[in-house]
Structure 1
Amino acid sequence: MGDRGTLPAAELELQNALKGGRIAGRVSIPDEKAATLVQPEGRDWRAFRNDTLHWVGAIAVLGMLALLALFFLVRGRIRIHNGWSGRTMVRFNFFERMNHWMTASSFIVLALSGLNLTFGRSLIRPLIGPEAFTALADWGKIAHNFLAFPFTVGLLVMLLIWARDNLPNKLDWVWLKNGGGFIGGAHPQAGRFNAGQKGIFWITVLGGGVVAVSGFLLMFPFFLLDIAGQQWGHMVHGTLSMLLIAVMLAHIYIGSLGMEGGFSAMGSGRVDYNWAREHHGLWVDDELKRAHEAVQPEAAARPAGAD
């Protein structure tokens, strides 16, 4: 084998390309991207797709499930301290619940189909066989693409109707210092949404928004991004999706099994008065004041002590 001074020009070109990590040829079609055969970023992306994302998903999703199971075993279900009152009040109206369930149901299908794209080949394919898995993956991909639209619309509506009630205030720090009632028996005062719910809201709206935008960029490849941008878009989309799934598992747990009386808020839209008083006492005061003013507007407007 000769030294570099005697190597043919083509072989020298190949060695130089290999050193840079990128191998490209020449094409006669308009799409110049097709000339790239190997790129170092592609190898990095493949390593993320086949290894790193699996670890991120496993730690986030399985770790959250383990933490919730442990918390339930130690803390149990959070009961209504004074028991059911038999009286209810409206927590969420029909439009709010409809938008919530549209967004939630879309997210569940998006999460399951995304998990299948990530883990299905190694976990589900051996169980159901290649033909069934191919059909499942194809339908999952179609559902994933189409349900991205109602999910995004739901996020935007949530931002419009709930952002004002989810702005941080000084009571949130008090709520956090007291463990939000999850640690110990105290129920710190809160308005319509407590600090925990506000955190869930902003994680959902902002994190879900980034997931949606990155997903649309992947759905329409090379519309705005080149191949490197597509790879980064997938890494952002996959990582945030796994983290969002973990957060939503905690949200589902608290709203169903974890807290007595919590599910009815998004079920029927009405909650027990004692539940509302314990968890959102300031909101109850505001609602009672608003109802009193609606029933007796003249008396509410009259100064105290006036005849």
Structure 2
Amino acid sequence: MPGSISILRFAAFKSLFAAFALLFVLTHPAAAQISFKPTAEAVQEDKLLNALKEGDKISGRVSIPDGNAANLIQPAGRDWRDFQRSKLPWIGGIAILGMLVLLAIFLMVRGRIRVQQGFSGRTILRFNSFERFVHWLTASCFIVLALSGLNVSFGRTLILPLFGPDAFAAMSAWAKLAHNYLAFPFMLGVLIMFLIWIKNNIPGKLDLEWIKQGGGLLSNGKHPPARRFNAGQKGIFWIVIIGGALMSVSGWFLLFPYLPGNVTALQFWTVIHAIIAMLFIAAMLAHIYIGSIGMEGAFDAMGSGEVDVNWAREHHALWVEEQQGKANAPADRVRAVPAE
């Protein structure tokens, strides 16, 4: 009998405890977790994110000093991710491949731009050693920055299948280091270029005439007269300066991601950096083409620093006259060399 009474008392206590527990669960806010239905329309992720599309983010509460840690979901991040994965490769592909196609067509139709009078066997100094150093410093850094940057957008599609995941991972790690550190000499080079060449690259009326005649590049006729830099070269100069400045500012924020202040601003600068980079690369392809295989004698300007006098007179007649006036001689630093 005593044992039966104890069992009955325990059973009654257990029932009472279960009733209190049920009452607590139903009245406590956490009870909502028990009634959670993953398939319910009210909690579908897409509907939730679409409803919050107008806002910046979905945030919670944190006790640590970094308030950004409270951000749980940022709906705008989906647009940024979609841009990086789909739109940016299309922009880069159209800009870069399109430029290569145009240059190939131009070479086939126009051919290489020759020196009409032939090489004279005399040269004139066009760029001194310091100018050439700054040019090649900036150009070499740009090439590495361009290739390592393109790897971010196209590496998984084009390089990973060729070399495998291990080699691709190692190459990408080194490319990232090169991209980060070579950004600084590139920025320095752009700044020095601006300081030493700005006086020769101010647009003027003479440039309009050069543009009207297409620089003489579309025909075998006479090239329009120009001073040290013609309108086409001035265009490249300002592309380098403006594009380099935008790449530098946006790249600086990417190197130091806490500077923008929030994720939305950082995403904005990554988009600017990526778009300008693709257009920048396309423009530099045209510059490289003209300075190498596209125009006979042009590479010497940044190679040895001296160009043939006939080449200089055909493309920069007014500049040659200025040099002759300064030196009071047939040409500044003119000397006999074997004709090519």
Structure 1-normalised TM-score? Answer: 0.90
Confirm whether residue 99 of structure 1 aligns to residue 134 of structure 2: yes
Which of residues 169, 175, 182 in structure 2 aligns to 1:134? 169
Q: 1: CA distance between counterparts of 2:101 and 2:303?
A: 27
Which of residues 73, 89, 96 in structure 2 aligns to 1:38? 73
CA drift of 1:268 comes to: 0.2
Q: 2: CA distance between counterparts of 1:23 and 1:149?
A: 37
Report the counterpart of residue 337 of structure 2 in structure 1. none
Q: Structure 1, residues 247-297: CA drift from partner, whole Å, max 9, x if none?
A: 00000000000000000000000000000000000000000000018x9xx
Q: 2: CA distance between counterparts of 1:225 and 1:68?
A: 42
Task: Give 1:112-191 correspondences, 5 Å limit.
Answer: 112-184=147-219, 185-191=221-227
Q: Structure 1, residues 94-133: CA drift from partner, whole Å, max 9, x if none?
A: 0000000000000000000000011101110011000000
Give the letter aligned to residue 241 of structure 2.
V
Task: Give 1:272-283 correspondences, 5 Å limit.
Answer: 272-283=308-319
Check whether the contact 2:115–2:296 (CA below 8 A) recurs between aligned residues: yes
CA drift of 1:24 comes to: 2.5
Which of residues 120, 124, 129 in structure 2 aligns to 1:89? 124
Which of residues 83, 92, 105 in structure 2 aligns to 1:57? 92
The 10-residue stretch of structure 1 (92-101 or 39-48) with the greater mean CA deviation from structure 2 = 39-48
Q: Structure 1, residues 136-182: CA drift from partner, whole Å, max 9, x if none?
A: 11000000000000000000000000001000010100000001011
Check whether the contact 1:14–1:23 (CA below 8 A) recurs between aligned residues: no
Confirm whether residue 251 of structure 1 aligns to residue 287 of structure 2: yes
Check whether the contact 1:17–1:23 (CA below 8 A) recurs between aligned residues: no
SS at match of 2:328: helix
Report the counterpart of residue 193 of structure 1 in structure 2. 229
SS at match of 1:256: helix
Confirm whether residue 216 of structure 1 aligns to residue 216 of structure 2: no
CA drift of 1:32 comes to: 1.7
Q: 2: CA distance between counterparts of 1:118 and 1:263?
A: 31
Structure 1: gaps of 5 or more residues? 1-6, 296-307
Aligned residues: 288
Q: 2: CA distance between counterparts of 1:8 and 1:90?
A: 82
Check whether the contact 1:89–1:272 (CA below 8 A) recurs between aligned residues: yes
SS at match of 2:260: coil
Check whether the contact 1:217–1:225 (CA below 8 A) recurs between aligned residues: no
Check whether the contact 1:100–1:154 (CA below 8 A) recurs between aligned residues: yes
Which of residues 274, 277, 284 in structure 2 aligns to 1:241? 277
What is the alpha-carbon root mean square deviation over aligned residues? 2.0
Task: Give 1:291-306 correspondences, 5 Å limit.
Answer: 291-292=327-328
Q: 1: CA distance between counterparts of 2:48 and 2:259?
A: 28
Q: 1: CA distance between counterparts of 2:247 and 2:305?
A: 29
Structure 2: gaps of 5 or more residues? 1-30, 37-41, 332-340
Q: 2: CA distance between counterparts of 1:223 and 1:134?
A: 28
Check whether the contact 2:58–2:72 (CA below 8 A) recurs between aligned residues: yes
Report the counterpart of residue 271 of structure 1 in structure 2. 307
Check whether the contact 1:77–1:257 (CA below 8 A) recurs between aligned residues: yes
SS at match of 2:293: coil
Check whether the contact 2:222–2:314 (CA below 8 A) recurs between aligned residues: no
Q: 1: CA distance between counterparts of 2:127 and 2:148?
A: 30
CA drift of 1:189 comes to: 0.5
CA drift of 1:13 comes to: 9.5
Check whether the contact 2:59–2:72 (CA below 8 A) recurs between aligned residues: yes
Name the % identity: 57
Confirm whether residue 20 of structure 1 aligns to residue 60 of structure 2: no
Q: 1: CA distance between counterparts of 2:124 and 2:154?
A: 44
The 10-residue stretch of structure 1 (212-221 or 23-32) with the greater mean CA deviation from structure 2 = 23-32
Q: Structure 1, residues 26-75: CA drift from partner, whole Å, max 9, x if none?
A: 33322221221221211110011101110110001000000001100111
Which of residues 73, 89, 97 in structure 1 aligns to 2:108? 73
Give the letter aligned to residue 20 of structure 1.
L
The structure number with the bigger radius of gyration is 2
Report the counterpart of residue 202 of structure 1 in structure 2. 238
Report the counterpart of residue 263 of structure 2 in structure 1. 227
Structure 2-normalised TM-score? Answer: 0.81
Give the letter aligned to residue 220 of structure 1.
F
